[in-house]
Amino acid sequence: MKVSAIRTLKPNVTQEEAVRGFRSGVFSWVYWRIRSGPLQRIAEAYVPFWVFRVRYEIGKARKTRFFALDAVHGDLDLFEFPRIPADEELVTVETRNQLTARLQPDAAEEILRTKVLRVLFQQGFFKLHGLRVEIERMPIELHLPYWLAFYGSNGAVKCRVMDAVRRRIEGAKASSFFEEWLAA
């Protein structure tokens, strides 16, 4: 992997905070230590996301929201922004720990439509009579930062993931997402 400069959202978690986060929660920490071995190290990783403007009508109300979908497989959780991120919310980082966008634009739009409909259904199924959804990709590609914690011993390594923007430990889906990338 070569080092290249990317634009990323500013992380809300420092390396020290990430280590504390991975070690916090007695049950969680003990579980990971027993299951996978001791915490060996942590590293930053950056995932490319595409930003979309989503317009929809519920009844007579017209709404606009901005969502970001990971451009690798579309598997990670959506990010929602109140507006397109401004330059002061982004930083340039030189790294080799970045994933490559692999998703085709048509597939990305279809995955996003499905995820947006799920979000809207959660707001109230009966409000969705006559729902129309318009999706437009915005001319911005940005990367979102994650912290990866590596646990293991004897050559067997497991990965645990922290979203460095939302300050939360991710689940098994994100762990397997990054383990697949690391194995490639």
Q: What is the pLDDT of residues 137-153, one digit of tens each?
A: 999 889 999 999 988 87
Q: Tally DSSP H helices, then E strands, for the chain.
A: 4, 8
pLDDT, residue 48, reads 97
What is the structure's pLDDT at 30? 66
Q: Which helix (H) or strand (E) holds 120?
A: helix 105-122
Give the integer Cα–Cα distance in Å for 50 and 105.
Answer: 10
CA-CA distance, 41 to 98, in Å (whole number)? Answer: 18
Those residues whose C-beta lies under 8 Å from the C-beta of residue 112, and which sit 6 or more positions away, are 52, 54, 67, 69, 74, 78, 135
For the chain, the domains span: 47-163
Global pTM exceeds 0.85: yes
**Nearest alpha-carbon partner for 135 in 105, 173, 101:** 105
Stretches in the chain below the pLDDT threshold 70: 1, 25-35, 124-130, 154-155
